Amino acid sequence: MPCRLSSDSISGSLTESFSSFKAADERQRSNNPLFFRNPVIENPGKAVYNGKEEMALAGKKHWEEFSLKYVLGIDTGGTYTDAVLYDADNRQVVASGKAPTTRENLAVGIGVAIDRLPMQELKQAAFLSLSTTLATNACVEDRGGRAKLIFIGAEQPVVAETGWKYGLPDAEEILFLDAEIRSDGTVEREPDLQGFLEEAESFLKDADSVAVVAYQGIRNPTLEQAAKKLIRERFGLFTVCGHELFWNLNYLKRGAGALLNARLVPIITDFLQAIHETVQARGIDIPIVIVRSDGTLMTEKFALERPVETILCGPAASILGGVALSGSPDCIVVDMGGTTTDIAMVLDGKPVKRDGGISIGKWDTFVDSAFIHTLGLGGDSRVRIGKEGLLVGPERIMPLCAAASRWKTVRDSLRELAESARKSKHPLQEFLYLVREQAQDVSYTERERRICAALADGPLRIDRLAEAAGSDLYTLDTRRLEREGVVLRCGFTPTDAMHVLGDFTGFDRGKPPNWPPAIWRGCWGWKRRRFAGWSTNRWSERCTFTWFRPSWKTKIRIFGEDWTLDCGR
């Protein structure tokens, strides 16, 4: 796919970057009323969002009042949360803090990280800059909220045949509103909106957000706007239209991006709520900006309405940091975390940008971004045995060494499993634990509610969970609960393998290495160190294959000329 270089320069100077942001913001605001990136607003307060009151941007300062002495930065990933206090005048980090990301309550991990910074200087910070891989991880792991897609004037056979290429669900899971729309956007036959409301009653009964996309909606958005108005009035659901996000012709790709945006709403909403809760508890009242997937900045309000713009904001921030730290204008930046490995290219000090939008996981979208390849592979990737042999990723789970450090019952249960020498086709060494309560959510099945109730007192090994939930290992289905972040799985990961081999001892090294050898033979049929070695080797092989595979021989556009870049050489 053709690429081009970004016209935005990467500068090590935060002051220069912020000044450029201000100028670009003023140009964008004057040229496009739908595009707002100004990190301060004149009337801060609360806004009704998805039926809830959300804190709008708490900025009370104006550009001329900004002092860039200190800047606070927070990055929340799937495994760790980092906080940094930066001295912009002297261009140096004053202090930094790291804490495990607490999935059950993001504010806890964010608070621990912030509390490791000096409070006196922290309260002098001019603004707070955020980045996160929560949306990135959700795309790779196919997680998110219960979003539904409505197509207006679309051809159902076309969607059924080709929609999967963009990440769309089966056509049976999409509501098609019949209408005749010409290629110029003229509506030849209006849809039956009253009939639509009756059909939507059952279609949206378990949805928490909706995406509406019309054929040629970018040329005539009136049908999308009418459907959105009806949905908001009748069902009170957060609704986004395709034309509000993208101005590209391919309605299938617009539909995929709009649906993904709706799925990410609860993830980014929870993240920003946790940020507000944390900083307000510490008496910090500063404007908030968020790194966008293309490396620019956006407002909190923009991110709440368009969370799809945060898909690669974490990796985009890594590009800026990698160039600044290395001082190299031409480099490949590789960022490996707990869930994903993100790879980007920088030429002449500028990130190579990708035309056509982001492709990540199963999703193909129109979201602008630097050319970043994301692989579902990290320190917390799930290791398991499949028909193809040893499999690593793309799912992220909690490492057993971390779970055993947190819950004594996990270690005791593993020891009991090892001593029993029990063998099974199922991963008996894996556990599930409850992240958030869903007892009042009637949309979950009775069996799903029993699973949550069984986990109320702590994690359970999957065979014990099946028994407690009145099920068995063959019918125990936790996929929706895991996909929606209600429960989280614990199991063997590369982090555990590194503990076994002594390469990493971030958790108590006494946990995985000293499990009785029988657990390795009982669960996998291999000796402990042999299995750990194979896990890390497979992990490394996937990384190496991805970095230098043929697809990285790509064409890019530099100053109007096409070049072929072969990253394997």
Predicted confidence (pLDDT) per residue in 367-394, tens digit: 888 788 887 888 888 888 777 777 787 8
Q: Look at residue 306 and tell me whether its pLDDT is greater than 70.
A: yes
Q: What is the pLDDT of residue 493?
A: 87
Question: How many Cβ atoms from other residues are within 10 Å of residue 410's Cβ?
Answer: 24
Q: What is the pLDDT of residue 482?
A: 87
Q: What is the pLDDT of residue 214?
A: 93
Q: Look at residue 519 and tell me whether its pLDDT is greater than 80.
A: no
Q: Look at residue 115 and tell me whether its pLDDT is greater than 90.
A: yes
Confidence of residue 68 (pLDDT cuts 50, 70, 90): low
Average pLDDT value for residue range 349-366 = 82
Range scoring the smallest mean pLDDT among 153-157, 174-178, 448-452, 521-525: 521-525
- Average pLDDT over the chain reads 76
Q: Look at residue 478 and tell me whether its pLDDT is greater than 60.
A: yes
Q: Look at residue 320 and tell me whether its pLDDT is greater than 50.
A: yes
Confidence of residue 333 (pLDDT cuts 50, 70, 90): confident
Q: Are strands 398-399 and 363-364 parallel, antiparallel or unpaired?
A: unpaired
The CA distance from 311 to 95, in Å, is: 27
The CA distance from 94 to 117, in Å, is: 8
Q: What is the pLDDT of residue 69?
A: 79
Phi, psi (degrees; rounded to nearest 5) at 93: -80, 125
Q: Look at residue 56 and tell me whether its pLDDT is greater than 80.
A: no
Distances (CA, A) of 425 to 396, 411, 463, 522: 21, 21, 12, 11
The CA distance from 151 to 160, in Å, is: 12
DSSP codes, 323-368 = HHHH--SSEEEEEE-SS-EEEEEEETTEEEEETT--EETTEE----
Q: In the chain, what percentage of residues exceed pLDDT 90?
A: 23
Confidence of residue 108 (pLDDT cuts 50, 70, 90): very high
Q: What is the pLDDT of residue 513?
A: 41
Q: What is the pLDDT of residue 295?
A: 77
Range scoring the smallest mean pLDDT among 313-327, 343-357, 496-510: 496-510
Range scoring the smallest mean pLDDT among 17-21, 122-126, 250-254, 350-354: 17-21
Confidence of residue 395 (pLDDT cuts 50, 70, 90): confident
CA quadruple 190, 195, 198, 203: dihedral sign: negative
Report the DSSP beta bridge partners of residue 130: 74, 290
Q: What is the pLDDT of residue 440?
A: 61
Given a contact cutoff of 8 angstroms between Cβ atoms, the answer to whether 206 and 444 are in contact is no
Q: Look at residue 479 and tell me whether its pLDDT is greater than 80.
A: yes
Q: What is the pTM of this model?
A: 0.70
The CA distance from 96 to 116, in Å, is: 7
Given a contact cutoff of 8 angstroms between Cβ atoms, the answer to whether 209 and 50 are in contact is yes
Q: Look at residue 246 and tell me whether its pLDDT is greater than 50.
A: yes
Q: What is the pLDDT of residue 11?
A: 30
Q: What is the pLDDT of residue 92?
A: 86
Q: Which of 12, 121, 115, 22 is nearest to 70 (CA)?
A: 121
Q: Look at residue 553 and tell me whether its pLDDT is greater than 60.
A: no
Phi, psi (degrees; rounded to nearest 5) at 44: -65, 150
Range scoring the smallest mean pLDDT among 130-134, 240-244, 374-378: 374-378
The CA distance from 525 to 501, in Å, is: 18
Q: Look at residue 35 and tell me whether its pLDDT is greater than 70.
A: no
Q: Look at residue 36 and tell me whether its pLDDT is greater than 80.
A: no
Average pLDDT value for residue range 43-70 = 39
Predicted confidence (pLDDT) per residue in 219-237, tens digit: 999 999 999 999 999 999 9
Joined together, the tokens standing for residue 414 give: 């593993």
Predicted confidence (pLDDT) per residue in 397-425, tens digit: 988 888 888 888 888 888 888 777 777 78
The CA distance from 399 to 379, in Å, is: 9
Q: What is the pLDDT of residue 538?
A: 53
How would you classify residue 235: left for phi > 0, otherwise alpha for psi between -120 and 50, otherwise beta? alpha
Q: What is the pLDDT of residue 161?
A: 92
Q: Which of 160-164, 500-504, 518-522 has the highest mean pLDDT?
A: 160-164
Q: What is the pLDDT of residue 497?
A: 80
Q: What is the pLDDT of residue 58?
A: 32
Q: Look at residue 299 and tell me whether its pLDDT is greater than 50.
A: yes
